[in-house]
A = this chain, B = another copy of it.
């Protein structure tokens, strides 16, 4: 090592790990110091900050290993000091900087690592053209990544839409000329203008395949049987695929994604197998006619895509905190393709899914959502012009007094939603604790068969849920021949206003069928959501609400027809025009139930508004969503996603709930009374002592103090890093044995005999977040949320008292809310 002229321009070349020691050795108190260039063969980090040593000589041996390096040198500020061989500990000991499965991540640490990497790249850019390209690649990688995610999400969504539509139609019949076409595509080549229930001569229903007529008892039974058999096959396939290849592909995935985005590791949850199985599985599950939607799984699929693409870019793939920026954008893209609602998707990601949403990623999420929607629209899987899912156009504005039934819908919606959540949770808890959980495939099959058997006879449950919602949202016009539009009126002219009319027998019948459908869908969804196949909750919720809303809407309409002169109807309804649009009630009802189930607010209104293209109806939608949310909050505290998070015991610290209790940090911290805190000292423990502590305790990290007597805090070291570092040292360094001193300082104590010490300062976090024992827990909870902490250290007058981990905080929150604190299972 060329240690010489440190004054003036000087270069120190040395190899790691001597560098730390060498630099520190030659620094005396009171000298000027400067954070300097640190370079190795291919690593160069220039740090230009200068500073001075304070009188209390605090910089003596403070090299924060993975942040950067600060050394001191005396005198002239023109001096350039170069030290080779260090960038960050992550390059030195393999595995450091990563996390174990089912562990909480440390946002601050990961973001610091990313900035370190960023500065390094900026610095290197000036070296060569290749580095410049690498730098540009890095700068653009965020945009490139979300572009790729957006494009892939759009493509996958298109494939799923086409596949699900084809397989759904397979339940009814086949296109003999070209079996890969669904009914609609099959009929395109037909010149028939009038379809019978969407059937044309090119499309063979199953009775026709067996040379039967379309109508009659025999063909009905054949159709019924085929419907059940196909449902069984699809459901069996979906459940077996999930069970065999990707157990994480079941459910909606949104609770887990919320947890992952809040900073938790679930290995494989966003992997390629999950992606493939979930994509195929959701097609099958939707086709099986189960009471589920593909919207939630679409978010999960988009996040899988985001996760997979992030590995192409080390900036995101190797940094859990940065990766979550991509995942947030992917979640927005998922909602965007699920509903054709890019703005709603971004707001959903912001409001509901994402935890740590820096504003700069808002723009990127929006880009991602837009690209995905654009690609899906270009693929045009539904073959229609509208980019929105349930495009409606009402030709009547709403009347002010209608706010009363709309708020009523909100209240009923909130009640239905709460009922659903409670019943579903009860069933899921039963599944978890009973033997039922051991037969996931059987359960799916039973649900599928029962659903198919009950659903087929009722035309409203037999049809696709999306089709039903679309039908319910629609206004009755000339072209609409469904029972729902069987009013006693004659259409004379397409352009004339639709007059209000008495309901015909068809409407009465339809209402009874809808009531049955409502009950059936509610019960079926309770048993469906949470079983071991991919299943989303958006479409069933919308459907429940739409049925309820349509029924209420028809009621209000008939009220207005029969009593046109009571004051509320006297203004707009007395002219004979149809002043009440039952379809609008369906839309508002749908928003109410979905709002009650998920407790979404702004994003719900924006999604509904984008979904239906109904700009004029924001106020009714909002009134219903608000009423529903308040009713839901009053009846049961949590939305369905939060309830499932709790059910699974994930460590999710809700950023929307307020912590309203008066406890102090001292009440929450570990250790409790009569327990001792496991600490390491900075320079008086041997490798054996440390290994004993590692063996005896299960903490994820240990504070390092000056001495056991004084307990003044020096830093914090993670269990994982300590394990790796000791194992690494024992493997690679000579002389390290059980009696070696473990040093977290740079200056060794005067020790001439004995084995060489093990220097672990590089894995010590010199800047742990600390709080005083008197800090109110509200502030502590706030810090955990906003700074994304994994743990914080509690001190009193500078002395270490204890540690608070995220798990401690979550348990404490549970305890304060009179719930079982042991439901929090993970760290």
Interface residues of A (CB under 8 A from B): 35, 45, 47-56, 58-59, 62, 64, 67-68, 70, 108, 111-112, 115, 118-119, 122, 342-343, 346, 350-351, 359-360, 362-363, 366-367, 370, 374, 601-602, 605-606, 613, 615, 618-619, 622, 626, 655-656, 658, 660-667, 672-674, 706, 711-715, 766-776, 778-779, 782-783, 786-787, 795-799, 801-802, 816
Contacts and interface: CB of A to CB of B under 8 A. Distances in A.
A673 B53 contact: yes
Contacts of A656: 359-360
Contacts of A47: 662
Nearest to A771: B767
A622 B366 contact: yes
Contacts of A771: 767, 769-770
Nearest to A346: B602
Contact of A49 (B622, B663, B711, B715): B663
Given A108-B779, A797-B712, A58 B663 contact: no
Given A35-B663, A49-B662, A666-B59, A112 B605 contact: no
Nearest to A122: B660
A351 B619 CA distance: 23
A363 B601 contact: yes
Nearest to A797: B712
Contact of A796 (B56, B122, B363): B56
A666 B54 contact: yes
Nearest to A601: B363
B767 A801 contact: no
B770 A766 contact: no
Contact of A660 (B119, B615, B622): B119
A366 B606 CA distance: 11
A370 B602 CA distance: 11
Main SS at interface, chain A: mixed
A51 B666 contact: yes
A798 B798 contact: yes
B658 A374 contact: no
A688 to B, nearest CB: 26
A401 to B, nearest CB: 15
A356 to B, nearest CB: 10
Nearest to A657: B360
Nearest to A59: B666
A56 B779 contact: no
Given A48-B661, A56-B801, 6 more contacts: A51-B667, A54-B801, A111-B778, A118-B660, A767-B772, A770-B771
A466 B758 CA distance: 73
A660 B605 CA distance: 38
A231 B118 CA distance: 54
B787 A112 contact: no
13 contacts: A51-B663, A52-B672, A55-B673, A56-B711, A58-B796, A64-B774, A112-B778, A115-B778, A362-B602, A367-B622, A766-B774, A767-B774, A770-B771
Contact of A786 (B54, B666, B786): B786
Contacts of A606: 343
Contacts of A64: 664, 774, 776
Contacts of A59: 666, 773
Nearest to A713: B798
Nearest to A659: B115
A660 B115 contact: yes
Contacts of A359: 350-351, 655-656
A374 B115 contact: no
A826 to B, nearest CB: 24
Contacts of A782: 108, 111, 787
Contact of A774 (B55, B67, B673): B67
A613 B363 CA distance: 21
Contacts of A661: 48-49
Contacts of A363: 601-602
